[in-house]
Structures are given as C-alpha cells and as structure tokens.
Amino acid sequence: MKGLAYYLSPVGELLIKSENEKIITLAFLKDSKQEEILSPVIEQCKSELEEYFSGHRKFFSFEMDLWGTDFQIKVWNELVNIPFGKTISYEALAIRVGNIKSIRAVGLANGQNPIAIVVPCHRVIGKGGELVGYGGGLDKKIWLLQHEGAMQKQLSIF
C-alpha cells in the first residue's frame, strides 16, 4: 500500500510518502499537492515529527526504506549515526564511509537524501565549520541546527 501526506513544519511544508508501511520520502514540498492517502506509518511519522519540532524527540523510530545506489545508501545509513545536536564535516563523513577521496561523492549523496530531517543531512557541514549546501535551503539548515542546539556549540568554539 502506498501512502501520501503533508506536514506543516516550522521549516516549511513537508511531503511524506510511504510504501509497504515504510517511509520512502520526506522532502520539502516543491510541487502542488495531491490527495492524501494516509497509512499507519505516515501517521506515526507525522506524530514523531510533531514531537521532534516541539523539542520532545531526538530519535525517530518509524521504519524507512532508502532507495538509491549502494554508495548512496551507505552514506545515508552513516548520516543516521550522527548524534542529535552534533555536526560533522563532509571529509569526516567520507572517512566514515571508507574513502577520504570520496568527499565530492559524499556531498552528492548527501544532497540526494530522500528522507530529510530524519536522515540528518543537515548535520553535515564544511571542514572549516561553514554551513554549505542544503536541499531545502541554508535558512532551513540553520533553523534545524539551532533547534538541535548544534549552532550554539559550534559558535562557542570560535
């Protein structure tokens, strides 16, 4: 069964898609809306997003199905290991996936993450601490990092 829903978050409206009771897409809405088809996993996703945005959730527990190349999935699975309120560099992420020379490929995979916020690509920053790139826009990346307390920690080291 396929599901489709929308969630109005503090960083904009989000599109949620599910298939076989697993979330396959959580993205910033860019197109016009279609009729919603709710499913239990979508309801769980919306509930957990509500808890995250209200400051009561740091981890998500609904099931996801990441669709991509083996390399993309490896990168996305590593993103999930970045703790709430922490950031890492693209270089550190490349090292974690096993090849420091893959920084550009890691950046591309990061940018193609199909499940925003939950697979926290917003927690990846430039080596010097600069906030580079985010599919939803840097304003959203900054908001998410501030919400998680990562911006205050990062600014305190300068």
For residues 105 and 29, state if they share a domain. Answer: no
The pLDDT value given to residue 24: 98
Domain presence at residue 63: no
For residues 36 and 74, state if they share a domain. Answer: no
Alpha-carbon gap, residue 69 to 13, rounded angstroms: 27
Q: Tokens 């009771």: give the residue.
A: 21
- State pLDDT tens for residues 46-79: 999 999 999 999 999 999 999 999 999 999 999 9
Mean pLDDT of all residues in 131-157: 80
Q: Around 140, how many Cα atoms within 13 Å sit in the side-chain half-sphere?
A: 20
Mean pLDDT of all residues in 36-42: 96
- The identity of residue 136, as a single letter, is G
For residues 21 and 94, state if they share a domain. Answer: no
Range list of β-strands (E), 29-119: 88-89
For residues 92 and 26, state if they share a domain. Answer: no
Q: Three-state SS across 44-61?
A: HHHHHHHHHHCCCCCCCC
Residue-averaged pLDDT of the chain: 92
Mean pLDDT of all residues in 87-91: 95
Domain presence at residue 44: yes
H/E run at residue 92: helix 90-96
pLDDT band at 31 (very low <50, low <70, confident <90, very high): confident
For residues 84 and 42, state if they share a domain. Answer: no
For residues 49 and 117, state if they share a domain. Answer: no
For residues 75 and 25, state if they share a domain. Answer: no
Active-site residue flag, 45: no
The pLDDT value given to residue 46: 98
The pLDDT value given to residue 152: 60
- State pLDDT tens for residues 91-127: 999 999 999 999 999 999 999 999 999 999 999 998 8
For residues 27 and 93, state if they share a domain. Answer: no
Range list of β-strands (E), 10-151: 12-19, 22-28, 88-89, 124-125
Catalytic residue among 24, 45, 121, 144: 121
Domain of 109, in residue numbers: 70-156
Query: Could you give the number of structural domains in the chain?
Result: 2
